[in-house]
């Protein structure tokens, strides 16, 4: 069933868990994600990032995401991840997305605040929820850059006082915080500051905190993050990697004279991604 960002985060808050938010890079990813959630009977967020537009256009994948979410037996939020322009946010809302993220983290505080207010006003007309970001993960959503983990000096951790003013002024439903995570693959072990999460929650009326750069974090740190107040965890890189590794293993086992079919690779990748998503969802739900 299709639900809004606010509704699904209310479920997370009530259960004191985090909802897994997985990027829909194509049909096989959507199928894997929803199959995983259906089998576990856990709510899920499927999302599409603006930087993934070259892979498949939002105009193509968006309606499919909404359609499949409506058919699911579990709560599903269809979310726009890292929307960089108000025009792109509007497109997602018109398609039927029930959550949007405006990412103004590279802008000045004043510009981020002004544009986030506009994003909230737009979303309210459609009944959709809004996520925004304060601070910097160091690397953009694509994972590009030369640094990750503790060595990335470009990170700017979220300030709780500033977050309080931002949340009050904008009326957002969730806040993406920078507390030590990084987009993409970690080149060294991340060092996470959970006090940032706790302080922001305390100052902002227990607003749901979003964790970006979720792939590669230890189970122990995931659990600490959820206990600190993280209610949405973005996870894609390791899911995508699981699908790629499964295809590589499949190809390595094929006889040289046998034909290679894309459909076979598709199914192998889909199953591997489903298993990876299930493992992540159980971790986020504190299943031990």
Give the pLDDT confidence of 195-215 residue by residue, as tens digits.
999 999 999 999 999 999 877
In terms of Cα–Cα distance, which of 166, 149, 226, 235 is closest to 194? 226
In this predicted structure, what is the pLDDT of residue 156? 78
The full length of the chain comes to: 288
Q: What is the pLDDT of residues 66-106, one digit of tens each?
A: 999 999 999 999 999 999 999 999 999 999 999 999 999 88
Active site residues: 81
User: Is residue 28 predicted with pLDDT exceeding 50?
Assistant: yes
- Determine the Cα–Cα distance for residues 31 and 92; give it in Å rounded to an integer: 20
Q: Cα angle vertex 156, ends 145, 237, to 5°? A: 40
Q: What is the pLDDT of residues 103-148, one digit of tens each?
A: 998 899 999 999 999 999 999 999 999 999 997 665 554 444 444 4
- Determine the Cα–Cα distance for residues 221 and 209; give it in Å rounded to an integer: 15
In this predicted structure, what is the pLDDT of residue 254? 84
Cβ–Cβ < 8 Å for 200, 231: no
For the whole model, what pTM was predicted? 0.91
Helices 262-284 and 27-40 pack at an angle, to 10 degrees, of 40
Q: Domains (ranges, CATH) in the chain? A: 5-284 (3.20.20.70)
- Determine the Cα–Cα distance for residues 42 and 35; give it in Å rounded to an integer: 11
Cβ–Cβ < 8 Å for 80, 100: yes
Residue 81, classed as helix, strand or coil, is strand
User: Is residue 188 predicted with pLDDT exceeding 60?
Assistant: no
């Amino acid at each position: 069933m299709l639900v809004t960002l606010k509704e699904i985060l209310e479920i997370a808050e009530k259960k004191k868990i985090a909802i897994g938010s997985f990027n829909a890079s194509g049909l096989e990813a959507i199928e894997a994600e929803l199959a995983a959630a259906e089998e576990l009977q856990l709510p899920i967020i499927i999302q599409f990032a603006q930087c993934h537009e070259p892979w498949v256009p939002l105009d193509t994948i968006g309606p499919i995401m909404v359609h499949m979410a409506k058919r699911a037996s579990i709560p599903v939020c269809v979310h726009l991840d890292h929307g960089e322009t108000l025009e792109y946010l509007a497109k997602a809302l018109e398609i039927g997305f029930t959550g949007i993220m405006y990412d103004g983290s590279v802008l000045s505080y004043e510009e981020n605040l002004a544009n986030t207010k506009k994003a909230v006003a737009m979303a309210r007309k459609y009944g959709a929820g809004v996520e925004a970001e304060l601070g910097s993960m160091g690397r953009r959503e694509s994972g590009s850059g030369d640094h990750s983990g503790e060595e990335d000096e470009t990170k700017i951790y979220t300030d709780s006082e500033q977050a309080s003013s931002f949340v009050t002024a904008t009326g957002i439903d969730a806040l993406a915080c920078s507390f030590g995570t990084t987009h993409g693959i970690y080149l060294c072990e991340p060092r996470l500051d959970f006090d940032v999460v706790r302080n922001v929650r305390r100052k902002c009326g227990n607003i749901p905190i979003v964790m970006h750069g979720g792939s590669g974090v230890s189970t122990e740190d995931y659990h600490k993050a959820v206990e600190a107040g993280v209610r949405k965890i973005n996870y894609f890189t390791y899911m995508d990697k699981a699908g790629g590794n499964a295809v590589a293993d499949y190809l390595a086992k094929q006889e040289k004279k046998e034909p290679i079919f894309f459909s076979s690779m598709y199914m192998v990748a889909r199953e591997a991604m489903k298993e990876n998503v299930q493992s992540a969802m159980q971790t986020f739900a504190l299943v031990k």
